[in-house]
Amino acid sequence: MSASLFEVTGKVALVTGSTHGLGMSMAMGLGKAGATIVVNGNSSQDKIDNALEEYRAAGIKAVGYKFDVSDEDAVKEAVSNIETEVGPIDILINNAGIIKRTPLVDMEVADFKQVIDIDLVSPFLVSKHVVSGMIERKSGKIINICSMMSALGRNTVGAYAAAKGGLVMLTKNMATEWAKHNVQVNGIGPGYFATTQTAPIRVDGHPFNEFIVNRTPAAKWGDPDDLAGAAIFLSSKASDFVNGHILYVDGGILATIGKPSNED
């Protein structure tokens, strides 16, 4: 098998929500494999600038664009600027998202709608404005970042689960409509990863840490770098006949019902 199957050198990859966390990990993987990374965030320009320093320190060609992925006018303008100033977008990773941990019975409708808007509607908006160029060029890769909550329920994350479950079907429908144009649309479903955000609950003795380690056949939290291979595969020629698929990178969580507490 030729290494060129996984070649992304010279490709332009827009990764939304890539100033930190898993979005940055996937973007770093693509950047180290030779892609030019378009970093997106919306909280502050300083955060984008700090992220760009990290990418460039790793030897990655990266540029930053601050825009709100839930604002269609802002998305349309940003995509136009990126394609004019950086180049045609070959790879889009819809990673930006939020979560609000509130029991459904207590959740305000406005909060529920905000989660749906950012986690489900935004991937539609960004893809809609990026894919027109991909269709014209007869080439493109779109990756929607799904979740364990695309397939499983959990207390207090009903809005997030609804959005991520919907994102699976949006991914399949995007693939259905755009495959004839040689655009592949797939998803990645990350499991539980060791990030700065999860650090407070990954300490020995914390109930959630024990739950995840025991629930995961690999018996550990994922390393964010573990997502790089999936992102490269779904961004490269190696996945040209993979469409509408959700690749779960979860250490085996979805493969098992879990082990009894007294099992080795």
Residue-wise pLDDT for 76-123, tens only, equals 999 999 999 999 999 999 999 999 999 999 999 999 999 999 999 999
Residue 151, domain CATH: 3.40.50.720
Average predicted confidence (pLDDT) for the chain: 95
Portion of the chain with pLDDT greater than 90, in percent: 92
Active site residue 160: yes
* CA pair distance 104, 108, nearest whole angstrom: 8
* Greater model confidence, 158 or 198: 158
Q: What is the pLDDT of residue 3?
A: 67
Query: Averaged over 130-158, what is the pLDDT?
Result: 97
Cα–Cα distances (Å) from 52 to 196, 228, 260, in that order, read 18, 18, 45
Domain that holds residue 193: 3-251
Number of structural domains found in the chain: 1
* Overall average pLDDT of the 186-193 stretch: 97
Residue 256 lies in a domain: no
pLDDT in tens, 4-45: 899 999 999 999 999 999 999 999 999 999 999 999 999 999
Residue 2 has pLDDT above 90, yes or no: no
Q: Is 107 within a domain?
A: yes
Q: What's the Rg (C-alpha) of the chain?
A: 18
pLDDT value of residue 39: 98
Indicate whether 259 pLDDT > 90.
no
Q: What tokens appear for 232 in the block?
A: 């490269």
| pTM exceeding the 0.85 threshold for the entire prediction | yes
- Asked, for residue 259, whether it belongs to a domain, the answer is no
- Residue 219 tokens read as 């018996």
Give me the catalytic one of 65, 160, 192, 248: 160
Flag whether 64 is in a domain: yes
In a domain, 260, yes or no: no
At 258, the pLDDT band (50, 70, 90 cuts) reads: confident
Measure the CA–CA gap between 29 and 21, rounded to whole angstroms.
Answer: 13
Three-state SS across the chain? CCHHHHCCCCCEEEECCCCCHHHHHHHHHHHHCCCEEEEEECCCHHHHHHHHHHHHHCCCCEEEEECCCCCHHHHHHHHHHHHHHCCCCCEEEECCCCCCCCCHHHCCHHHHHHHHHHHHHHHHHHHHHHHHHHHHHCCEEEEEECCHHHCCCCCCCHHHHHHHHHHHHHHHHHHHHHHHHCEEEEEEEECCECCCCCHHHCCCCCHHHHHHHHHCCCCCCECCCHHHHHHHHHHCHHHCCCCCCEEEECCCHHHCCCCCCCCC
Q: Environment class of residue 16 by beta-carbon count within 10 Å: exposed (0-12), middle (13-18) or buried (19+)?
A: buried
Question: Does 143 fall in a domain?
Answer: yes
Q: Quick check: is 85 in a domain?
A: yes
Is residue 149's pLDDT more than 90?
yes
pLDDT at 181 over 90: yes
**Burial annotation 22-56 (CB, 10 A radius, 16+ → b, else e):** bbbbbbbbbbbbebbbbbbbbeeeebbeebbeebe
Residue 14 lies in a domain: yes
